[in-house]
Amino acid sequence: MVLLPKKNLWTLFYILFVIGFSLLLVISFMQYKNVERDTKSELRYLSNSTVEATKHYFMQQETILDILGKHLLEKDGAVNREHAHTTFRNIIESNRVISGLAISRPDGKVQIVSDESTRAKDLNMLKIPGVRSSFKEALNSKRMVIGRVFYDKAIKEWILPAHKAIRFKDKGVVGVVSVALSLESARSIWRSYTQPGSELEIFLDNPKYRIYHSEKIPRKYPYLYTRQIDDRTFYKHEGGEVLEKSGTSFEILKKTAKPAIVSFDTPENRSYLISWQYIPNYNLWIHYHIPKKLIIDKVLNYWLINAVSFFFIFLIVYYLFSVIDRFERRKSKELLHQAMHDNLTGLPNRMYLQRKIDSWIYKEAPPFSVGFIDLDNFKNINDSMGHHYGDLILVEVAKRLEAAMPEGTMVVRHGGDEFIMLCHEYDIDLLEKRARNLIEEISKPYDIEGMEFTVGVSIGISRYPLDGTKLFELLSAADIAMYHAKRSKNSFAFFTSELKALRNRYSIMEHELRNAIEKNELAIVYQPQMRRDGTLHGVEALVRWENRKLGKISPEEFIKIAEESGLMPKIGRYIARQAIEEISSLQERKKISFSLSLNISIRQFNEKGFVDALLEIMEKGSMNPSNIVIEITESLFIEELEFILKTLNRMKENGFNISLDDFGTGYSSLGMLKKLPIDELKIDKSFIETLLVDKESEAMVKAIITIGKTLGFSILAEGVEDEKQFTRLNELGCDLYQGYFFSAPLRLKDLEKFIG
């Protein structure tokens, strides 16, 4: 499973949230546009419907007036009064919209009215202020003319007057039929075309008078109906400027009679969608305006639904992300714990130590001590009993370490059988007591699956800030002290000034060794290897180092540094190349053939391409692999045996001879000897030194020779110092000899003299 870091997880959530919220805004905007478009369509529909209803309404009244005029007026303008009264009464009774009827002469003189109580002879349409202008207009129009609204005190009702001139072809206008329409009745018709929240107004065009307002009735707002609106105010406050900006105008609307819908902001900062449409038949303006707040409210309803859905969905998403986050936190915590703790013992590891060291080392930090702990001879348990038992012992050791130290001590598994301890104690006496108790606890027997094991422990102790102010300095100091303690086994040692000097020498030595080849400080010497008859069998190539600063350094000292610092492969290649070139040249000059033994370290052996590199050196040096003896030590078997065998077999296939050096001091067994493709066993000089004085050493040498002979190996004894040793080894059946009894290691020119 791939886990997202917490930061990335919540970044993804925030990205999704922003995208989702952006979509919500886009959808809301689109819904606003859709609602606005639908509202405009609805407004257009209402305007057209109102226009049609208004035209139908007035056409009905116009038809009534036309019929009345043709029916009641003679060509000379005379009126049949008796018949007219009856007709008026019947029409008014059957049509509640009509409040009154009248017939006048062209000069305005009223001939007859429907209200019989009114004296017609006293009435003149041209003298009534609210009627005069529309009456005059009717005389010049072939259509019915609507007048402005006025209040009729006689019938106590708001009236909408209309006039229709009656013409005969040969007589012209013979009279005018007027009707008083009940404004309330007309309002009921227009009201049915007004949607909640919208407002409908109807205006006379010339002069400008309002004859209907859906929200404001004449009884409460009489001034709205009786006051003439001047053209400038009308065009400015009723959207004229907006109409012109949209590409139309009132004049264009008069010609087209089609609705125009635009947005309009009033001087009071109110926003509307307005619609204007003209009815040319009756010179009327139909005006709708819908507050945009209604659109916004409707959109807000949609938005609220969307927002609730959005936040509900993201509440679920948030919950899911929280679950994932908790899972990842727990998993990350587990992974971090695994990364910073040893899988076998559960102790913190080196990474944990690096992370937590700042809590120990800081400005004005209290003193503390560092213990470097290494188990003694633990490798023997792994090799003899297997890693299963070794691992179980390490687990028990870790438990004893934690139990034996005071609270607050950091116990770390450094790797393999090495542990590190950081302890707040600093006093030497107390630390000595702790170290002895720790050695005692660790050294107690371990009962592992019915088997008893015993291990020792070596402890090196350094102190902060006395021995270092950085972690690597303290560890290095404790490590040096530990190696000093390891000489005695199952003991402890403090880092001292003498050890500090040794550490400084080690650092200088490592630095100088890195450039030793380039400075030609490394020299190759050759120690002869002799047969029983005193003839030369071969030579072993050995390296010597003399430094300008440090002087002569023993191989035991600098080889170890080369191994630990990773320089050994480079030095090994140099030795092999130099030795092969020199011995090959010497053999060619002397016309003699003998073997050349090359010591190969663990680091060299594990180097990728080691065999190929050695073959390349052989080819350049013109030396046959059969004359090369590769010396390996038993320490090589610390590594994986299968890999070792594979490499050794390849070397054997290429003609190299293989010698097992220092046999009897390390890790090899009889079973292993059978598997190894070796040609020669070298008896370690430690056995040769005590051969004549120690029966056990003699028995060991005798056993090695017997085993070697049985397995078909040549036996070479190294460290032969005198004739007595040589004689006894000869008696025991040894084949080859090397040591100062025959010759010390020689420079090339001295070797040439030795050969003769």
The pLDDT tens digits for 182-232 are: 888 888 888 888 888 888 999 998 888 999 998 889 999 999 898 988 887
| Average pLDDT for 419-437 | 94
The Cα–Cα gap between 357 and 747 comes to 51
Q: Over the stretch 621-653, which tens digit does the pLDDT of each residue have?
A: 788 899 999 998 876 665 556 777 888 899 999
pLDDT at 665 over 70: no
Q: What would be the CATH architecture of the domain defined by 511-755?
A: Alpha-Beta Barrel (3.20)
DSSP-derived secondary structure for 132-168: HHHHHHHHT-SS-EE---EEETTTTEEEEEEEEEEEE
Cβ burial 282-321 (10 Å sphere, 16+ → b, else e): bbbbbbbbbebebbeebbeeebeebeeebeeebeeeeeeb
Q: What is the mean pLDDT of residues 670-677?
A: 77
pLDDT computed for residue 680 by the predictor: 94
Angle between helices 497-513 and 555-565 (to 10 degrees): 70
Residue 562 has pLDDT above 90, yes or no: no
The pLDDT assigned to 305 comes to 87
State the average pLDDT for the chain: 87
Indicate if the pLDDT at residue 12 is higher than 90: no
List the single range of 103-117, 342-356, 571-585 with lowest mean pLDDT: 103-117
Predicted pLDDT of residue 4? 47
Instruction: Indicate if the pLDDT at residue 668 is higher than 70.
Output: no
Determine how many CB atoms are found less than 10 A away from the CB of residue 212.
27
Tell me which amino acid residue 228 is. Q
Q: Is the pLDDT of residue 670 over 70?
A: no
Give per-residue pLDDT as tens, 351-406.
999 999 999 999 889 999 999 999 988 887 877 788 888 899 999 999 999 999 89
Burial class of residue 372, CB neighbours in 10 A (0-12, 13-18, 19+): buried
Q: CATH classification of 1-332, choosing from 3.30.450.20, 3.90.1150.10, 3.40.50.1100, 3.40.50.2300?
A: 3.30.450.20
Evaluate if residue 582 carries a pLDDT over 90. yes
Q: Bridge partners of 376? A: 456
Quote the percentage of the chain above a pLDDT of 70: 95
Q: Tokens in use for 102? A: 């009248």
Q: Enumerate the domain spans of the chain.
A: 1-332, 350-495, 511-755
Is CATH 3.20.20.120 the classification given to domain 350-495? Answer: no
Helix and strand totals (H; E) in the chain: 25, 27
| Cα end-to-end span (Å), the chain | 73
- Indicate the pTM of the whole model: 0.48
689 within 8 A of 718, measured Cβ to Cβ: no
Q: Are the folds of 350-495 and 511-755 the same? A: no
| Burial state string for 458-493 with b = 16 or more CB within 10 A and e = fewer than 16 | bbbbbbbeebbeebebbbbbbbbbbbbbbeeebbbb
Return the top range by mean pLDDT from 77-86, 256-265, 591-600: 591-600
Residue 162 bridge partners (DSSP):
146, 179
Please state, in angstroms and rounded to a whole number, the distance separating the CA atoms of residues 272 and 269.
10
pLDDT tops 60 at residue 6: no
Residue 280 has pLDDT above 60, yes or no: yes
CA atoms within 13 A on the CB side of 531: 7
